[in-house]
Amino acid sequence: MSLLDDYQPQAEFAKEHNVAERTVNRYRNLPNGLPWMYFGGKVYIHIPGAKEWLQRRVRINRTRGRD
């Protein structure tokens, strides 16, 4: 078991999820943004925290459609 088991380097995270690193940076810098840590000169994204963060951002359109 490694200290970084629940973390993924930001570059890998961005590539795996098909988003630009710049987008990941923007998400990290939002108030209550994407959870991350700086370790050994690299940014790591906390995967379980990222899943929770994304779930909190899910929106459901509650407006009624036109009949």
Query: What is the mean pLDDT of the segment spanning 43-47?
Result: 97
The mean pLDDT value for 45-62 works out to 93
Indicate whether 67 pLDDT > 80.
no
Can you give the pTM of this predicted structure?
0.82
Instruction: Indicate whether 36 pLDDT > 70.
Output: yes
Say if residues 44 and 9 touch (Cβ distance below 8 Å). yes
3-state secondary structure the chain: CCCCCCEEEHHHHHHHCCCCHHHHHHHHCCCCCCCEEEECCEEEEEHHHHHHHHHHCCCCCCCCCCC
- Residue 48 above 60 pLDDT? yes
